[in-house]
Amino acid sequence: MARPRSPKPELVRQAWAVVKHTQDVNRLRQALAVLLPAELNATLEQTAKLLGVGRATVVRCQRGFAQPPVVPPARKTWGGRRRALLDGEAEREFLRPWAEQAKDGGLLVLSPIRAALAQQLGRPVDRSVVWRMLARHGWRKIAPDTRHPKGDPQVQADWKKNCRKRWRIC
């Protein structure tokens, strides 16, 4: 025969208050897990059958209702750059001379930037590391235009019409 449960009267009063006013299903289930054995002398098995849960879940619900809800500590997120070679300020400082060169209209080539970064870090660096670093700071690859800015379409069209069809040996 199962051992009868005798919950504390204060706990039963709290359970009745929760049943009357709660909107949370889990909190209602916890309150009923306390009330059914107290008011109807139901065993754990009978209470489990009425609530539609297992016997062990009834005990967990009773324990959860009796103890104040514990708010878990805020978990630290997994985001961020944990494998960064340089922090943000160091990267900006590294790119400063290259930015000055780019402002003057100079063409930047990846290989010197990569070599300078490898020298500063003291180890070889892959090209993708440099591309990602440039992208982080808002730089992008700009391919040269397909036509010359000083080209004149009219002169080019005239040359196409009047050019020699055959080349002569000089």
93 and 131 in a single domain? The answer is yes
User: Is pLDDT of 3 > 70?
Assistant: no
What are the tokens at 80? 């961020």
Q: Give the total number of structural domains in the chain.
A: 2
Using DSSP, state whether 43 is helix, strand or coil.
Answer: coil
For 85-139, write each residue's pLDDT tens digit: 999 899 999 999 998 888 877 778 899 999 999 999 999 999 999 999 999 998 8
User: Count of alpha carbons within 13 Å of 125, Cβ hemisphere only?
Assistant: 23
Contact residues for 47 (Cβ-Cβ < 8 A; gap 6+) = 32, 33, 36, 37, 58
Closest CA to 61 of 2, 5, 9: 5
- Residue predicted with more confidence, 153 or 5: 153
Q: Is residue 164 part of a domain?
A: no
Helix (H) or strand (E) holding 121: helix 110-121
Q: Is residue 170 part of a domain?
A: no
Q: Is residue 151 part of a domain?
A: no
100 and 57 in a single domain? The answer is no
Task: Provide the domain limits for residue 41.
Answer: 9-66
Q: Is residue 21 part of a domain?
A: yes
